[in-house]
Amino acid sequence: MEAENGDLLGIEVKSGTVYPDGEALARECREEIALETVNARVRTAVTHAYPDRTIRLTLIDCEPVPEAEPVALEHEALGWYTPDEMQTLDFCPADAELLPVLFEEC
């Protein structure tokens, strides 16, 4: 899928398949934290240039389905953090660019 300016929208996986943003988020949440989500909506995106590549990260808001609880399937642990606590964690530069937006009012 392409935007008007020719940018690719969604997430491309190794198979070459491109998923729309909300569908990609839902798939990742199912695979990594066993969480079903609904009402996905793009909030913002950043493009970050690393020395060897440029990446685009999209921040997508969503809601868990009723009674859903995340489970660490591909991670050692999961946690809930306040905005102040998030500032003490190590993030790669591209992720860190999204932190100021993360806790803004939706």
CATH code, domain carrying 77: 3.90.79.10
Residue 39: band (very low, low, confident or very high) from pLDDT cuts 50, 70, 90: very high
Residue (of 76, 106, 103) closest to 87 by Cα position:
103
pLDDT > 60? residue 3:
no
Cα 4 versus chain centre, distance: 22
Could you tell me the sign of the dihedral formed by the alpha carbons of 71, 74, 75, 80, in that order?
negative
Establish if 1 belongs to a structural domain: no
The mean per-residue pLDDT over the stretch 56-73 comes to: 92
Establish if 36 belongs to a structural domain: yes
| Distance in angstroms (rounded) separating the CA atoms of residues 82 and 79 | 10
Q: 82 phi and psi, to 5 degrees?
A: -80, 165
| Distance in angstroms (rounded) separating the CA atoms of residues 39 and 50 | 32
Rounded to two decimals, the pTM is 0.74
| Number of domains comprising the chain | 1
